[in-house]
Amino acid sequence: MAHLFNRNVLLGVSGGIAAYKSAELVRELQERGAQVRVIMTRGAQEFITPLTLQALSGHPVHTELLDERAELGMGHIELARWADLLLIAPATADLVARLSAGRADDLLSTVALATAAPLMLAPAMNQQMWKDPATTANINTLVQRGVQIVGPAAGLQACGDVGPGRMEAPAIIADAAGSLFATGELAGKRIVITAGPTREALDPVRYISNNSSGKMGYALAQAAVDAGAITTIISGPVNLAAPKHTQVLSVHSAEEMLEQSLRLLPECDIFIACAAVADYRPVTIEDQKIKKGPEEVTLQLVRTPDIVATVAKSSPKPYTVGFAAETNDVLAYARDKMQRKGLDMIVANDVGDPSIGFNSDENAVTVLWPDGQQALERANKNTIARQIVHLIAQQA
């Protein structure tokens, strides 16, 4: 059974008799570890009530594009960004036509345009409608755009016809969704990822640190596992559960992070430095808690070791990917950082916008390598991570 651990699946249900099977599909997706939210078209609500899918998914079902209350909660753009996958099952002939034409005339078709997540369709319609040249052309257009199609299955249809057009079984659709992430493009590669902040101690109870949550690094680790890599996270202090099938080494300071990185180096094919490592640490760590004293005190700091630059200088060297958190001239600074640190790739992260980057669920980055670059539009960190891992697999 393909897994969907830590994946956000947005299930779109359109108006066909197979809509009743979407209840079972919610369960199949959840059994594979997915978080599921549901959008229903108006037609779908004629076949199954939103209440059923709300009860099963544990979240309110989204139905309207122009709904003030819904937009105040999780609006259509938030839904589009939340999704790691938009799975539409059943996808009727009408919906397939609207998607192929790029229409945005209801919530589901609008989210399909607005999301950076992959789109998977499980078509369901009368066999003659499926065979119609218009439907064939629409499906071909969508396939050329990278849309994944599961099914349809053949057999006896609700209308009494026999032939292709039945929605594929929910378990098969859920497995297809899982295998979408299991790319295998880094099968057997050993990947080490630094994640989270470092803490540089001042005394037994105080430290210098930053707002990194570890979400970006942990999302990269999940994407690396899905790509088939043997994945280790060297993690600063974070409040996150380790993705399944990863090894997590917990550290506090930059010095400890360097020590673990160098220890793993002989067994590392790809090194990704996503951690927000403190550039300076206090010169001395007091044994006792520092007492309140004069109005002003001066803290003397010293540079920490540059972990990713040290890794990039090693021989033999893993394919080394750094991040660059910048607030201005982001691409120029990032390219300069890549060259100075001897990196093979750098992910430029504009952290001037507080709604992305540090401690948020979303990000927007540009990935640079010596003779190319690619911008990754704003999306949740899982989607960004999957795209970064794909670029690494292409370039490494």
To ligand PMT, the closest distance from the beta carbon of 77 in angstroms equals: 20
- Ranges of H-type helices in the chain: 22-31, 50-57, 68-72, 76-82, 93-101, 107-114, 127-131, 133-144, 170-181, 215-226, 254-264, 307-313, 330-341, 381-395
Footprint on residues 163-222 left by ligand PMT (CB under 6 A): 194, 196, 212-217
| Binding track over 249-288 against ligand PMT, x by CB under 6 A | -----x------------------xxxxx-x---------
The number of residues that bind ligand PMT (CB under 6 A) is 29
Footprint on residues 136-155 left by ligand PMT (CB under 6 A): none
Q: Which residue has the tokens 């066909």?
A: 16
Q: Does 89 interact with ligand PMT (rule: CB under 6 A)?
A: no
User: If 0-12 CB within 10 Å is exposed, 13-18 middle and 19+ buried, where does residue 146 land?
Assistant: exposed
Reduce the DSSP state of residue 175 to 3 states and report it: helix
Q: Does 344 interact with ligand PMT (rule: CB under 6 A)?
A: no
User: If 0-12 CB within 10 Å is exposed, 13-18 middle and 19+ buried, where does residue 109 land?
Assistant: buried
Instruction: Out of 84, 306, 344, 362, name the contact with ligand PMT by CB under 6 A.
Output: 306
To ligand PMT, the closest distance from the beta carbon of 351 in angstroms equals: 6
Instruction: Out of 22, 357, 362, 387, name the contact with ligand PMT by CB under 6 A.
Output: 357
Nearer to ligand PMT, 12 or 217 (CB): 217
Q: How many other β-carbons are positioned within 10 Å of the β-carbon of residue 369?
A: 19
Residues carrying an active site annotation:
159
Q: Which region among 52-60, 76-84, 93-101, 354-362 touches ligand PMT (by CB under 6 A)? A: 354-362
* Number of separate helices (H) and strands (E) present in the chain: 14, 19
Nearer to ligand PMT, 181 or 323 (CB): 323
To ligand PMT, the closest distance from the beta carbon of 344 in angstroms equals: 12
Taking the CA atoms of 132, 135, 140 and 141 in sequence, report the sign of the dihedral they define: positive
Distance from C-alpha of 164 to C-alpha of 122, rounded to nearest angstrom: 12
To ligand PMT, the closest distance from the beta carbon of 246 in angstroms equals: 16
Distance from C-alpha of 263 to C-alpha of 91, rounded to nearest angstrom: 51
Footprint on residues 219-238 left by ligand PMT (CB under 6 A): none
Residues in touch with ligand PMT (CB under 6 A) = 194, 196, 212-217, 254, 273-277, 279, 304, 306-308, 322-325, 337, 349, 351, 357-359
